Amino acid sequence: MERAASVFLHADIDKTKAIKLLAWIKDPIVTRYLNEKSDVAEKLNEVIQNTHPSLLACHLNKSGRFFFVCEKNNEPIGFARLADTDNPNEYELVIVIGRKDMWGQGYGTKAVTQCLNTAFFEWRADRVSAYVHMDNIGCAKVLEKSGMKQVSQSENCDYFNISFDEYLSYNTKKKHTS
């Protein structure tokens, strides 16, 4: 397995990036494990076509924060969302590496780590959670590599989470074993 280069979270949303996002959302292989409504691609296309580019971020940041996951050259390879939850100071993480040629190379793990760093160290979150389709073994491994733990299971989803204290402890242990 190749090691992933660094990735960065970019909150800047322009029409070019939004069109890449639309292509990923339209790809049934990329989105097969996402829990999105069937018309999400159609609605996203309407937003892209009918919204001034400076307002695209407003649409994508409703009820949370949206980021493009980018390589060092600012090229988007996926997206992440830290969505607000009913619990104050808690966010739900959604992560997608849209470029299939980059799957299995560590980009997802690095993107999740960036999201957790943002939530915990910049926003002072108490907890971050994620729901993962039971068949999405790759995403479950990514979350575990980032320190998140599966805490429950439903009929078709595994629920992962990590608190701020658990994240600090995990990273302290990781540094001592490296």
- Which pLDDT belongs to residue 106? 93
pLDDT band at 1 (very low <50, low <70, confident <90, very high): very low
| C-beta separation of 56 from 86 below 8 A | no
CA-to-CA dists, residue 129 to 1, 12, 70, 143, angstroms: 27, 24, 22, 10
Query: Any idea where the domains of the chain sit in the sequence?
Result: 8-128
| C-beta separation of 44 from 25 below 8 A | yes
- Pairing between β-strand 149-153 and β-strand 127-133 as defined by DSSP bridges: unpaired
Is the pLDDT confidence value at 35 over 80? Answer: no
**pLDDT tens-digit readout, 94-122:** 999 999 999 999 999 999 999 999 999 99
| C-beta separation of 84 from 64 below 8 A | yes
Q: Which of 15-19, 21-25, 138-142, 172-176 has the lowest mean pLDDT?
A: 172-176
Sign of CA dihedral 16, 107, 34, 115: negative
- Which pLDDT belongs to residue 51? 87
Write down the mean pLDDT value for the chain. 90
In a 13 Å sphere around the CA of 112, the CA atoms on its Cβ side amount to 28
Q: Tell me the residue type at 144.
A: E
Homologous superfamily in CATH for domain 8-128: Gcn5-related N-acetyltransferase (GNAT) (3.40.630.30)
Could you give the percent of the chain with pLDDT greater than 90?
A: 63
**The whole model's pTM is what?**
0.89
Residue (of 70, 94, 52, 81) closest to 10 by Cα position = 70
- Which pLDDT belongs to residue 41? 83
Main-chain phi, psi angles of 2, to 5 degrees? -75, 150
pLDDT band at 80 (very low <50, low <70, confident <90, very high): very high
Averaged pLDDT, 130-145: 95
